[in-house]
Amino acid sequence: MPGAHRRPRLLPEPTIARLPIYQRIAEELVRRGLDTVSSDDLGRLAGVSAATVRRDLSSIGPFGTRGSGYDTAHLSRRTAELLGGDSTFPTVIAGIGNLAKALINSPLFGDRTAKIVALYDVDVDIVGTYVGGLQVRRLADEDGTSFVDPPAIGILTCPASAAQDVADGFCDMGIRALMTFSPRVLEVPREVTVRYVDVSIELQILTYHLEHGRGPLNGGLLHNLGVSPVRVALHP
């Protein structure tokens, strides 16, 4: 029977990219003891339009109440769940410089969602040292026997010249998600997701706008979604 089979619909990529923002805000609102939030207020806090908020939230399974707004606790729970907050993804990092240390010392990687389980480098002065409680090893020496669970996320903070080799090594280890800080397009198998965090590109986008007289569009949050946050008070 045509149409009877309901496939779990993927969310549009821009919506996925906004979920972490909603999550962060909902968590904060719960912390402040606010039970509900309107699409209008949430939109202002997230820097997107109320219509976009309603479209996004209705697509992750409506839980708003007409007349009052969205339940902050429910919103927080649902977004956290969608973003994999209930799972733990073993994470490895290659290229242990200042940037890697900044990441390792940040609150991003606890034992919660992404847990760092291995550090790699090639520099003889760095291999063998301990950073954040883990001994730095050589990626080439990795045989996978030391992992309790196989790594799921790989982070590249290595020089651009090494990026493709490291990415190949990570993919061979079975990693399915890469975040790279190297200014380099990576070629990976189709089933691997790659996120590029490219500061040089960001900087050049800024200089483009400076060079061409301003951009009224404060885009950029969530990847150029055309967001233009305005100064907002939670309770005007």
Q: Are strands 193-196 and 130-131 parallel, antiparallel or unpaired?
A: unpaired
Q: Using the minimum distance from each CB to a second copy, give the nearer residue, 16 or 34.
A: 16
54 binds DNA (CB under 7 A): yes
183 binds a second copy (CB under 8 A): yes
Q: Which stretch binds DNA (CB under 7 A): 67-75, 76-84, 122-130, 137-145?
A: 67-75
- Give how far Cα 3 sits from Cα of 6, 7, 9, 97, Å: 7, 10, 13, 53
Q: Residue 101: which of a second copy, DNA, none does it interact with, CB under 5 to 8 A by kind? A: a second copy
Q: Residue 45: which of a second copy, DNA, none does it interact with, CB under 5 to 8 A by kind? A: a second copy
36 binds a second copy (CB under 8 A): no
Please enumerate in sequence order all residues whose Cβ is within 8 A of that of 171, keeping only pairs 6 or more positions apart, or say none. 188, 189, 192
57 binds DNA (CB under 7 A): yes
Q: Which stretch binds DNA (CB under 7 A): 49-57, 125-133, 175-183, 202-210?
A: 49-57
Q: Are strands 193-196 and 114-120 parallel, antiparallel or unpaired?
A: unpaired
Rounded to a whole number of angstroms, the minimum distance from the CB of residue 74 to a second copy is 18
14 binds a second copy (CB under 8 A): yes
Give me the sign of the Cα torsion angle 204, 206, 210, 215.
positive
Q: Residue 70: which of DNA, a second copy, none does it interact with, CB under 5 to 8 A by kind? A: DNA
22 binds DNA (CB under 7 A): no
Binding test (CB under 8 A) with a second copy, winner from 60, 73, 83, 127: 83
CA distance 104 to 130: 12
40 binds DNA (CB under 7 A): yes
- Give how far Cα 42 sits from Cα of 17, 35, 36, 132, 226, Å: 15, 13, 10, 37, 16
Mind giving me the DSSP string for 144-163?
STT-SS---EEEE-S-HHHH
